[in-house]
Every structure is written in C-alpha cells, then in structure tokens.
C-alpha cells in the first residue's frame, strides 16, 4: 500500500487540500505542488522524497490529457497527477474534496491522450512497487555501496542496495535479508576488491552461503523465500584478468582442481614447457608389467629375469622381522659365539691371543708347560676353554697387569685330559673354573 496523508491541510484557497506524503518518506519542504480539487479550489502540498522524485521525473510534453490516474482498491478514482506542458506546473486533482487521511490501494494507471495504456505498477505494504508489465528505459541505475573491510558484520534488509564492493583488507561478513521479505529471483552482487581477506555471505540465520576470495566477484540469487533463511544459489563472475572470445579463453593465473578434456595445450600456457614436452606419453621400461592389473597384496617387489617389476614370495610380515635393523645382520651373527667350538692345539708353552676368544685351547705338551693370560686383550664376557691334552701338566699364568680368580688360588690343570674355563669379567680380571689343582 501507499498512503496519502491529508490530515494537515495547508490551504492557499478555500477548498480542501493537504500534505501529500508517501509512507516512510522524508518531507522536502521546498517541494511544492498545486492541488486542485473538483470544486476548483487550489491548495499547496508538500511532497515526500519518493513522491517528489516520482512527479519530477514525469515527462508530460503534450497536453493535460497525459496523466497518471490513481485508483483505490475498489477501482474508484482518488486523484490524478498531471503536468501543464506550458508552465510545467504539476497538478494533483482529487475526485472529491479530501479530508483526513486517504489510503490508496491498487494500481497506478497511465493515460496518454486519454488512452489507458496499462496497469504497470502496484504498491505493496513493505514499500516495494510491483511492475506487472514490461518497462523500457534508457538506463536503470542500481544501488551501489562501497564498504571498507572491518570486523563488524553488515546486516542487509529488504531495502538495502544489491551491489556491494569491499575494499581494504582483513575480510568482511554480510548477513542477507529475511528472505520472506524478498521476491524470488532477488540478486545481490559482491565484488571483493580487498588486497587480502574473503567476503563471507551468510543467510538470515547466519549460515554461510558463500566465501568469496580476494579478487572474486559473485552473484547470490534467492531461489526460495519460503523461510527467513531462504534458499540461495551462488554463481561466480569472471575476474578482471580473464578474457575470452568465441573459441578462446585467456586466464593468467593458477588453475587448481580442474580436469582438462580438450586438445593440446599451447607451450605458452605451460610452466616449463620444454620439460613437459620431454616427458614420455606412455609407461615404458620396468613398469610395463604392472600397468593393467593389480599386484598380489602384501608382498615385496623385485625385478624379474627380464628386469621388470614382479612380486616376490617374501611377505610384508616377513619384511617386518628386519624392521629396526641398524647394521648388516650377518656381521651381527658372526660376532656371536659359534655353536661349533674352534680348536687351537699347541705343542709348547703358549700365550693367549685375541683370536682365542670363544675357542678351545689344547695344550699337547709332554712336559710341564705354561699357558699365559695377557692383560687388556679380551673384553668382559669373553670365555676361553682350556684342556691338557698331553702328559705334561699345564699351569695357568697371569700376565703383567692381569688377575686370575680361582678357588683356593688353584692355577694348574689337574691331570692329562683335565679341562677348565676362563671367563673374563674385565680386560684385566678373569675367573678360572674347572678340574684344577694347586
């Protein structure tokens, strides 16, 4: 609805008249029109911003038979707005002498030379005007607002402008209007001209509809106004660094997440084109055996007799057994005590050497003999087996700096074929166990 408030007459004549004001408008006191009622009485009216602009843009250039006829909801003529072609004076002619407040419901009918052209506009209670026929104009200037990015959310309403530019940096959030106040098909444009930071566009429930990166330009369209949140759809507009013609598209930038389904790409559009062109277009070499079928699961891979990739019998579980190995396994094994004792038979007195570790040293001497144990030759934990193979008794002698510990200080093998064991507890000290005597 649009209301015509005639409750405060400002008469310059004897008849009725009043203050003509559109609901929600702001009075412009310097805007005055002459109102002539059906009795010929003239009154001076002040117009609101909206109606003043509407009347001032009337282009009545023929005669007084070109006018706008305002009717109420019952089809009764309430008043007519016309402009005198000679004086350019705007006249508002009432069908009756108005008093009080008059509410106009319905259509603005346009007449040219007395002919009713069409019903083109209807007023709504929310302040919008419905256009029900095609309009033709030289240009239509949409509302535009430039906003410097800030941490404060911009809350849009049904009468907010639809075209938004964001400058600065750091990001900006917009909240779309209550969708039930808007017609389906309403479009809002957001141009992110920030040096950094995204535009976040939320619906009326503050749920994100679109995040528009720096340099982006998006159109947000209302698909359904059934709820206040509405159903919105986002469409991207091409950024300023994109150009195209009928068969070409030129974009200077990085394309991510796209699948190329066209023909060859020109070298100018490929980073390191020479490197790209040098790549082979098919798998060759060792991998040709695995291009079409899957491999046996959880198996080690080897190269077969033809140098191709093949599956080994070794499983992933078996490979796990060597997990954590830090040096050659065989070397580690070789350093352990041999299961088969190595023999070192001597035929005269003898001094042990490092190579005797973990061996059996046999003294095959016919007369008394000595087996000397040197200091700092063997490490802790080393053991050496000793035996008296010959008839000559063998005495165990501690070398310089070496200490031998035995029961009762016994250091001689007891008799032919007697045996003993040396166990080193450090490089300078060892136990002597076995068939020994003093």
pLDDT digits (tens, 9 = 90+) for 132-178: 566 677 787 888 999 999 989 999 998 899 999 999 999 999 999 99
| Of 45 and 289, more confident | 289
* pLDDT of res. 81: 62
Q: 84 with 164, same domain?
A: no
Model confidence at 31: pLDDT above 70: no
190-204, 279-293, 358-372: the lowest-pLDDT one: 279-293
Q: 125 with 211, same domain?
A: no
Q: 118 with 166, same domain?
A: no
- Inter-residue contact 355 to 382 (CB < 8 Å): no
Q: 8 with 120, same domain?
A: yes
For the chain, give the mean pLDDT. Answer: 75
Q: 124 with 196, same domain?
A: no
Q: 22 with 63, same domain?
A: yes
In this structure, what token pair is assigned to residue 369?
């003999």
The count of structural domains within the chain is: 4
- Inter-residue contact 189 to 199 (CB < 8 Å): no
The answer as to whether 304 is a domain residue is yes
The answer as to whether 284 is a domain residue is no
Model confidence at 197: pLDDT above 50: yes
* pLDDT of res. 312: 85
Q: 31 with 100, same domain?
A: yes
* pLDDT of res. 54: 44
Average pLDDT of span 303-312: 86
List, edge to edge, every strand of the sheet that includes 369-373. 350-351, 369-373, 394-398, 412-413, 436-437
Q: 11 with 78, same domain?
A: yes
Last residue of a domain, one of 236, 252, 278: 236
- pTM for this model (two decimals): 0.40
* pLDDT of res. 226: 96
Q: How confident is the model at residue 105 (pLDDT cuts 50, 70, 90)?
A: very low
The answer as to whether 280 is a domain residue is no
- Inter-residue contact 358 to 384 (CB < 8 Å): yes
134-143, 386-395, 412-421: the lowest-pLDDT one: 134-143
The Cα 312–Cα 300 span in angstroms is 5
**What is the domain-level CATH number for residue 177?**
2.60.120
**What is the domain-level CATH number for residue 358?**
2.60.120.640
| Of 325 and 378, more confident | 378
The answer as to whether 286 is a domain residue is no
Return the ∠ at Cα 77 (arms to 72 and 81), rounded to 5°.
105
Average pLDDT of span 59-74: 46
If one counts every other C-beta atom within 10 angstroms of the C-beta of residue 95, the result is: 16
- 131-135, 295-299, 341-345 — most confident range: 341-345
Last residue of a domain, one of 97, 131, 165: 131
Last residue of a domain, one of 218, 236, 254: 236
Return the ∠ at Cα 296 (arms to 291 and 299), rounded to 5°.
115
Give the single-character DSSP code of 317: H
The answer as to whether 347 is a domain residue is yes
The answer as to whether 98 is a domain residue is yes
Q: 102 with 175, same domain?
A: no
Model confidence at 125: pLDDT above 60: no
Identify the domain containing residue 370 by its residue range.
Answer: 342-437
How many whole angstroms from its chain centre is CA 199?
14
Under 8 Å CB-to-CB from 426, ≥6 apart: which residues? 380
For residue 262, CA distances in Å to 40, 258, 259, 266 come to 77, 12, 9, 11
* pLDDT of res. 309: 86
b/e string for 371-410 if b means 16 or more Cβ within 10 A?
bebbbebbeeebbbbbbbbbebbbbbebeeebebebeeeb
* pLDDT of res. 101: 36
Q: 149 with 115, same domain?
A: no
In this structure, what token pair is assigned to residue 114?
């007395």
Average pLDDT of span 235-240: 81
The answer as to whether 270 is a domain residue is no
């Amino acid at each position: 609805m649009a209301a015509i408030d005639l409750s405060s007459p400002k008469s310059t004549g004897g008849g009725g008249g009043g203050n003509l004001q559109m609901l929600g408008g702001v009075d412009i006191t310097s805007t005055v029109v002459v109102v002539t009622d059906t009795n010929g009485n003239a009154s001076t009216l002040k117009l609101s911003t909206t109606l003043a602009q509407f009347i001032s843009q009337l282009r009545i250039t023929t005669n007084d038979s070109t006018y706008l006829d305002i009717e109420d909801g019952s089809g009764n003529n309430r008043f007519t707005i016309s402009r005198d072609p000679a004086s350019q004076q705007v006249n508002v002619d009432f069908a009756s002498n108005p008093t009080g407040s008059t509410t106009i419901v319905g259509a603005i009918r346009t007449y040219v030379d007395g002919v009713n052209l069409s019903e083109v506009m209807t007023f709504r209670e929310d302040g919008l005007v419905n256009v029900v026929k095609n309009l033709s104009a030289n240009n239509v200037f949409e509302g535009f607002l430039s906003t410097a990015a800030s941490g404060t959310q911009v809350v849009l309403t049904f009468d907010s402008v639809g075209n938004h530019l964001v400058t600065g940096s750091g990001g900006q959030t917009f909240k779309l209007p209550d969708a039930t106040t808007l017609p389906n098909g309403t479009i809002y444009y957001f141009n992110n001209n920030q040096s950094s930071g995204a535009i976040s566009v939320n619906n009326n429930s503050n749920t994100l509809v679109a995040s528009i990166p720096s340099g982006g330009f998006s159109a947000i369209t209302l698909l359904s106004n059934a709820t206040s949140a509405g159903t919105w759809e986002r469409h991207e507009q091409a950024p300023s660094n994109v150009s195209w013609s009928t068969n070409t598209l030129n974009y200077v930038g990085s394309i991510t997440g796209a699948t190329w389904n066209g023909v060859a790409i020109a070298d100018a559009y490929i980073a390191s084109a020479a490197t790209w062109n040098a790549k082979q277009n098919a798998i060759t070499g060792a991998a040709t055996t695995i291009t079409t079928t899957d491999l046996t699961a959880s198996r080690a891979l080897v190269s077969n007799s033809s140098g191709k990739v093949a599956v080994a019998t070794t499983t992933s579980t078996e490979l796990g057994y060597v997990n954590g190995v830090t040096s050659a396994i065989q070397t580690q094994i070789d350093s352990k005590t041999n299961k088969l004792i190595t023999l070192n038979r001597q035929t005269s007195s003898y001094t042990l050497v490092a190579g005797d570790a973990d061996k059996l040293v046999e003294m095959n001497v016919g007369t008394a003999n000595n087996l000397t144990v040197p200091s700092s030759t063997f490490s802790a934990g080393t053991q050496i087996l000793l035996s008296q193979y010959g008839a000559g008794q063998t005495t165990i002698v501690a070398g310089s700096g070496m200490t031998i510990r035995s029961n009762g200080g016994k250091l001689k093998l007891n008799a032919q074929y007697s045996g003993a064991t040396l166990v080193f507890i450090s490089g300078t000290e060892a136990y002597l166990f076995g068939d020994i005597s003093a």
